[in-house]
Amino acid sequence: MRLINFNTLTQSTWFNGRLGYDGTDDKEEIFIFINYGIDYIISNIFLEGSLFDNPSPFIVSAQTWVLRRSFGIMHSRDISSFAFEVNNSSREVENGSRHGYARIAYSLRF
């Protein structure tokens, strides 16, 4: 959901498209987002080792399907942008645990 006056997607803080500030663009943007996704893993060489005949010293079985969820808010005005995001994903290995982390970002343009 995008609120208030917002820029085109190519100039939006959603894609980190606002790299500089020339004094003419003072639109305020607020994004509230919820994201769900699913990844199909063909091969994870970091967990399962090489695809070729090179033996790896550490090998574990990776999950084929990984679920991703995230939500957050982004705000941009004049020369600054702020983002807060919480991410969670399902297990990547059979006996592993779920992964969860948060991201906070502040950008200042000049």
Mean pLDDT calculated for residue range 84-97: 90
Average pLDDT of span 83-103: 91
**60 assigned to some structural domain:** no
Higher pLDDT, residue 43 or 86: 86
Q: Which is nearest to 71 in space by CA: 12, 31, 28?
A: 31
Q: Is the pLDDT of residue 4 over 80?
A: no
Q: With respect to residue 17, please indicate whether it lies within any of the assigned structural domains.
A: yes
Mean pLDDT of 31-45: 89
Structural domain count of the chain: 1
56 in any annotated domain: no
Q: Are 5 and 57 in contact (CB under 8 A)?
A: no
Q: Is residue 26 part of a domain?
A: yes
Is position 61 within any domain? no
Q: Examine residue 79 and state whether it is found in any structural domain, yes or no.
A: yes
In a domain, 42, yes or no: no
* pLDDT at res. 55: 74
Residue 99 belongs to what domain range? 2-35+69-108
User: Does residue 49 belong to any structural domain of this protein?
Assistant: no
Taking the model in full, what pTM does it have? 0.67
